[in-house]
Amino acid sequence: MNNWILIPLFLPVLIAALVIYRSNRQTKKTMDTINRMLDAAVQGSYTETTFDESRLSALETKFAHYLSASAASAKNVSIEKDKIKTLISDISHQTKTPIANLLLYSELLAEEELPEELHSNVEAIRQQTEKLRFLIDSLVKLSRLENGILTLFPQKQSVQPMLEDIYEQYAAKAKSKGLQLLLTVSEAESCAEACFDCKWTSEALGNIVDNAIKYTEQGSVAISVASYELFTRINVTDTGIGIEESEQPKIFSRFYRSETVCKSEGVGIGLYLAREIISSEGGYIKLSSERKKGSTFSVFLPK
């Protein structure tokens, strides 16, 4: 008799346990389905038809629609990148020959016996053609970096050979302006290593050194190295015109030209390209400058 009295007491507990069990089982099933969806999406093999919507919960159905839309979006992005890649390749290829011809003919004209005013015009044509070539090359590099077409391959290596190459590349330009280009690397720092892509890091540092020479009228441009636990720092220090504090955050912007240098050669893309390259390698650039006293650009490369 007592057992029959206990049944009504235990029945709600039993029903609750069954509901919890069923709920947990359904939750596990839903999570397993979502997990399979994610695995398929990561592998790039996800399609909405893989899963039967009639058997999915509302959450799974919404998630399936989201992944399907994401897959379509990723496919569209890939198609657009391919179009950009083709366009960039076409621009680079189609402009190379006309620019080379313009430079060739301007050099041939410069060798002719022409009135003085015509010689200055020919030189102007040559300079503007060189600027156009530099601009197109820079824009092509930028587009490739920004669209992921161009991939950097950083590897651990010594920074000394790269710095020596940069010194050799820009020593003549510094000398023509009456400047000293100094490479000061102590014996202790000569073995300094970092993880970087030599070709593109050299391009970034070259842009910084070129700017330093361009905006320095007297004195020197010095390249030095300091090694830390996590980073190797490369300093490019000049005795040039310096940069106002208010302008310092702007100089890494694309096509930014300060009013103080707007009449000088350049298009305002070198520092932007340098920052994009160094950032892509996991490094960063720091600037310290004082107006009329020079600047120091510090490039931090990860170890």
Superfamily name and number for 155-302: Histidine kinase-like ATPase, C-terminal domain (3.30.565.10)
pLDDT tens column, 194-239: 999 999 999 999 999 999 998 898 999 999 999 998 999 999 999 9
Nearest Cα to 213, choosing from 231, 196, 236? 236
Mean pLDDT of 109-113: 83
Share of the chain above pLDDT 70, in %: 68
pLDDT tens column, 117-137: 787 888 888 888 887 887 788
Structure tokens at 154: 């950083």
Would you state the pLDDT for residue 295?
A: 93
Q: What's the N-to-C CA distance of the chain in angstroms?
A: 81
DSSP 3-state assignment of 301? Answer: strand
Look up residue 293 and give its DSSP letter.
T
Please report which confidence band the pLDDT of residue 270 belongs to, taking 50, 70 and 90 as the band edges: confident
Distance CA 209, CA 223 (A): 8
Would you state the pLDDT for residue 69?
A: 66
Mean pLDDT of 166-189: 90
Q: What kind and span of H or E run contains 199?
A: helix 198-214
Would you state the pLDDT for residue 251?
A: 85
In terms of average pLDDT, the best of 40-44, 223-227, 243-247, 261-265 is 223-227
Residue 16 confidence (pLDDT) above 70 = no
Distance CA 116, CA 184 (A): 44
> Where do the CATH 3.30.565.10 domains begin and end in the chain?
155-302
Nearest Cα to 59, choosing from 43, 75, 37? 37
Mean pLDDT of 104-109: 85
Q: Are 303 and 194 in contact (CB under 8 A)?
A: yes
Share of the chain above pLDDT 90, in %: 30
Please report which confidence band the pLDDT of residue 177 belongs to, taking 50, 70 and 90 as the band edges: very high
Would you state the pLDDT for residue 65?
A: 66
Structure tokens at 193: 């290593």
Would you state the pLDDT for residue 12?
A: 63
In terms of average pLDDT, the best of 64-68, 100-104, 260-264 is 100-104
Structure tokens at 74: 């990723």
Would you state the pLDDT for residue 166?
A: 95
Would you state the pLDDT for residue 163?
A: 94
Distance CA 36, CA 28 (A): 12
Q: Are 286 and 300 in contact (CB under 8 A)?
A: yes
Please report which confidence band the pLDDT of residue 44 belongs to, taking 50, 70 and 90 as the band edges: low
Q: What kind and span of H or E run contains 27?
A: helix 2-43
- pTM: predicted TM-score of the whole model, two decimal places: 0.63
